[in-house]
Structure 1
Amino acid sequence: MNSYDTIVIGAGAAGLSAALVLGRARRRILVLDGGPPRNAPAAHVNGYLGIDGLSPLELLDVGRTQVEKLGIEIRAEAATLVETVDDGFVVDAGDERLHAKRLVLAAGITDALPDIPGVAEGFGVDIFHCPYCHGYEVAGQRLAVVATQPMSAHQVRMVRQWTDDLVFFTNDTIELDAAERRLFAARGVDVVDGPVSQIVRRDGALQGVRAGGAMHEVAAVFVAPTMVLNLEAFAGLDLGMTDTPMGPVVATDPMGATNVPGLWAAGNVADAGSQVIAAAAQGARVGAMINGSLVEEDWAAAAQPSS
């Protein structure tokens, strides 16, 4: 069985950052790349000091090159099964069983988009979920928030920071009482009740939102997808979870360790709201923590009497 000091499951910013730190510590590392990152549809990574505006795929290409220069192997395979064994973990990937002393869970999340025609075609282009990521680029224009879950009311409060021309479509999802409507009106937010039937697009460009039989022209739309953790391979482990307003995430201590000994988690799978810069920082921290645990294990083994 091919054995590694650490297998990193996920090749986004969190996973590659963990691999970079561990590779620089001269550990034998394997990274399993299960597919495109969550932010692949976006044109730019924003809010990341030093690389603001870089394409997310270009960022990962640069990261992969830097990691591979350290002799780290990256495979275009997803982990399909993770099991614990006495000396670590076994991981099924492709047609091979792999062994690792430690694991990094950085598989991220998948955005399950609302079932509204037009959303999927424009997601990451002019339909967004995070104003910190994309608000600046559309600031000052007429923007829309389409309710898809209870958190959408909070999303309205956030998006209002980037424009004073905002319309909120309740979409038969949120009921606003009289006090809330007065507050929205005081902040200059228009409210449109009733279901949204379509996000109207023409020739690849957003035209507006159709609701109640009327067409409302807007420059960009914000929605709140349902975030699904990519944990299929970990179903056999009794991973601790934490409930958050954005949904459940893998529970970790402040250093990224989970309740499963030897398994650390970083990125959106453990912090659904983290942007790319935060995910990368979490991955770097986890890499250092794992190397520290391996250092202590090496010294403990050396302290044992020779047989």
Structure 2
Amino acid sequence: MSSDDAAELALPRSSAPQVWDATVSETSFYWYDLINDPKVPDFHDPIGRYQRRMQFALDATMEKRLMFMLVARPRLRFDPKRSTSWGFFSLKLTIPILIGGEERKSTITVELKTPFEATFKKPLIQLYDKYMTLNWGSMTETFTIHDLMQRHDTGLHYPSKVQYVGQTRDPAGRLAKGRLMAVSNLCDTNAPEYDTLLLVQNFNVAVDTEAKEFAEQASQRSQMDVLEAALIRYFEGADARSPQEHRLRRERLRSLHEAYMIDRLTVDLGFKEANDFYDLESAEVEKSRRHLFACSFTEGLVAVERLPEQGRPLVSLDA
């Protein structure tokens, strides 16, 4: 039995109703299609080191209780068959790209920043279909096409379609190893029209209650289980997942709702630093950069209600 399971055997009981408010505190995107590409990264190669860093970062999330969303975005690739070009007297770089499964030709322009360690005024550019390397002499930077789309305003704006919601914690590391069946099936379905990315987020859950005893507070596991159920209901709908998973989640939510007397959960996915990568949508909800909604609970079922944004300030992740 894990320590988490042992702690949950005897749920504390709140002596007063609780109102929860969940806001984003950390957020990262990972290009999930790169997990097994290639299966054994070459540490001597800049691209191999990039892949290994991403794998280490994902492995670390498997030890934490974070939320993840699997999102689909239109397929983008660099076009190595065409050349990059520089702007006059600047570090503005125009890069050839291919869009969608039909590989429609286009370009993006980004303005590079010279690293402190650089010994070249302008880097040597090498394009691959999924990666671009910048050799600054004393160092080499590696970016994917989606890295550039997040860091720069390229003029190409696409929504991120949420397809699946879950928690990262998994001692077996199935998500980080590309072995979570539901996620793998969606990745296969998305290709070749869409790229699949993983949005991993940490949340701060503020609790308003007259119950002041520490033992009456929900554990992080309990908070994330409630938040996961809320996000699944919001983005995936009331009938998401298999009947067995739906039943287990409903039973778990019923017990948590009763234990902590949760009157209301407010979820705010917005934050000041969000760019168009955070224009989230799904089959259930329209595109928005700020999804703000409230949840109520009845017999283990979640009811959601969109809330107006006026009067509620955005959190800052830099604070």
Range class of TM-score, shorter chain: under 0.3
Normalised by the length of structure 2, the TM-score is 0.24
Structure with higher RCO (Cα < 8 A, 6+ apart): 2
Normalised by the length of structure 1, the TM-score is 0.25
